Structure 1
Amino acid sequence: MITRSLLRVFLPCALAFTLSLPSIGSAQDFPSKSLRILVGASPGGGTDILARVLADKFSAGLKQSVVVENRPGASNTIAAALTAHDQPNGLTLLVATNTGQAIAPHLIKLSYDPRKDLQPVGLVAIMPNVLVVPSSSPYQNLKELLAAMKGKPGELKFASSGVGSTQHVGAEAFSLATGVKAVHIPYKGSAQAHMDIISGQVDMMFDSTSSAMSQILAGKLRPLAVTSPKRSLALPDVPTLAEQGITGADVNTWYGLFATGGTPPAIIGRLHDELIKSLQMPDVQARIKGLGGEIELMSVEQFTAMNRNEYDHYGQLLKASGIKLE
């Protein structure tokens, strides 16, 4: 028979033992089954490529299959919504860009809050945007292009991969900084835009290096400036906008890994560790460098702060530029 005195000793010990056991969903039993990585863009683009690189490395590191699912549309927010509304168990991940995380939320009514319903895991890569013209363009440098824009206001055309994309926002930021405007021609993706730029139907584009590098290396597009604070490692001979006297127009494309909001911290930590390990692998670094990207290792806390700061920054920029979905 258990006496009250024994209970006073036994119950606290039992409780302490129970609390010390790994909880369901802890890093110790994660993952117990396959994972999926959602991508808000079509196959073959920069987001898709990075997601498949991570899927391969995560599969090996976590010893579970990892499937990439493409859910393009609505400025990357379809895939984001699916992630936001899933179970917070770390098994559904999202490779997102600042288009979906920091720009689209100010333009589209969403069924989720990207700051609360998507948990940052870590920064994957930063792709500087680059101002390009066709190789047949008469404009050999930024000074000549600006002179033409001022001499023919509203006549030159710039392409983007869609309203509210970083390409579109980058061009509008450039307009605000210089006081000159061009006509926006939105496309459904960079590949379609490149065809019209190369053929001379469109004059320029503020594209991400991940999309433009292959055409630049093939000699079909001429880079005039990068829109990052410092020169791109992939395009070291191309000056920044700031170096050419234009400030306040820095717009990059970044890619980050997110989980469903409410995912236990232990699982987020496990995923973050796997991400950092993957980003330090030479073949992964070479792949990202080949896309014109750069790796900056961040803690979960640092990336969370960056995500929130970007949300606020683009909210102010969109308000100043007057960009709206038509």
Structure 2
Amino acid sequence: MSLNPLRRQLVRTSTAAAALVTLCALGAVAVPVASAQDWPARPVRIMVGASAGGGTDVIARLFAEKLSESTRQSFVVENRPGASNTIAADLTAKAPADGHTLLVATNTGQAIAPHLLKLAYDPLASLEPIGLIVVVPNVLLVNPAVPASDVRNLVALMKASPGGFRYASSGVGSTQHLAGEAFDLAAGTRATHVPYKGSSQAHVDLIGGQVQMMFDTTSSSMPHIKSGKLRALAVMSPQRSPELPDVPTLAEAGLPGVEMTTWYGMFATGGTPPAVLAKLRAEFERAMALPEVAARLRSLGGEPGTLDVEGFAAFNRAEFERFGKLIRDAGVKVEK
């Protein structure tokens, strides 16, 4: 007795499906996976853990522009400020691992906050290093109304008014916060810490006189320094900044050993396929090699990164361990 047409069709379909499963198991048929050819298949999000207008935001938008040009796909910056840059990092760590969510991070979120906050992700395992963008010095800023022409004058004023000087930061556990703690220890002063959700918000109050000082990055504060809205008393790097040649280092100003720099790097979601990471890193390196990108990064007072991906990964881990020790030694804790 022969099969009717419908039953014959069902048999053929079942047989073909079984054959396809067998071929896939043998590797004879390619199964769609994320690949270098697919990336970027749709707009890419670049997460930023600080508010618009700050140093991280400026750098992220620079790379969004250049990556959009080279890949002919949209790269969109999303600002998710707060929790010492870790909100953006958390979203990146938990995004689909396909290269369509990136993070421009700083050592605040990568190396400092993990030792102060309880995080729902592992900053070393859940985020894949792409490349080091730039290292910039922190700079001691004051409102122009503060009657201090140099660091020694400022220290004298602060000692005459313990707790009376308020310094802003982009959040508890940020490099700005730790710089202020280190400054107080070295100078024998006691300033009041006022945390904000990013440098741009802190600048408003610093310019307005609600706070008197800040230990911000040059990448964020340079426009205000050059416009005269804020006055730079010292940079916290070992050498003077080429963009601020007349501003002394803190060591030159009488406080040796107090150094603080902020680095910016790009990361992808942990577990992103190697083929996608390879193309992503190639596009990142292409952008870094552009003369206009290097010039822009230097105009922010920074030194463009030169580490390869292995070097950056090692640097990221070393910074995590270094700041962890500093935080434990200094007894820095999150205020509750």
On whether the aligned pair clears a TM of 0.5, the verdict is yes
**Quick one: distance in 1 between partners of 2:238 and 2:95?**
37
Aligned to 1:282: 291
**Quick one: distance in 2 between partners of 1:276 and 1:77?**
25
Is 1:221 aligned to residue 230 of structure 2? Answer: yes
Quick one: which of 123, 127, 151 aligns to 2:136?
Answer: 127
RMSD: 2.5
Cα-to-partner distance string for 1:266-321 (whole Å, 9 max, x where unaligned): 33232222112112213223332333333122211111111111111221222233
TM-score by length of 1: 0.86
Letter in 2 for 1:285: A
Q: Describe how 1:1-326 pairs up with structure 2 within 5 A.
A: 24-325=33-334, 326=336
Per the TM alignment, residue 235 of structure 1 is displaced from its structure 2 partner at its CA by 0.9
**Quick one: distance in 2 between partners of 1:67 and 1:192?**
22
Say how many residue pairs are matched.
311
**Quick one: distance in 2 between partners of 1:193 and 1:78?**
19
**Quick one: distance in 2 between partners of 1:199 and 1:39?**
26
Any gaps of 5 or more consecutive residues in structure 1?
Answer: 1-13
- Partner secondary structure for residue 27 of structure 1: coil
Per the TM alignment, residue 258 of structure 1 is displaced from its structure 2 partner at its CA by 0.2
**Quick one: distance in 2 between partners of 1:274 and 1:174?**
40
**Quick one: distance in 2 between partners of 1:32 and 1:158?**
45
Question: Does the 8 Å CA contact 1:22/1:28 hold for their aligned counterparts?
Answer: no
Per the TM alignment, residue 199 of structure 1 is displaced from its structure 2 partner at its CA by 4.1
Identical pairs, percent: 56
Moved more, 269-278 or 118-127: 269-278
Greater Rg by CA: 2
Aligned to 2:15: none
Distance 1:35 1:27, change over 3 A: same
Question: Does the 8 Å CA contact 1:276/1:297 hold for their aligned counterparts?
Answer: no
**Quick one: distance in 2 between partners of 1:24 and 1:249?**
49
Aligned to 2:10: none
Distance 1:215 1:180, change over 3 A: same
Distance 1:274 1:132, change over 3 A: same
Any gaps of 5 or more consecutive residues in structure 2?
Answer: 1-22
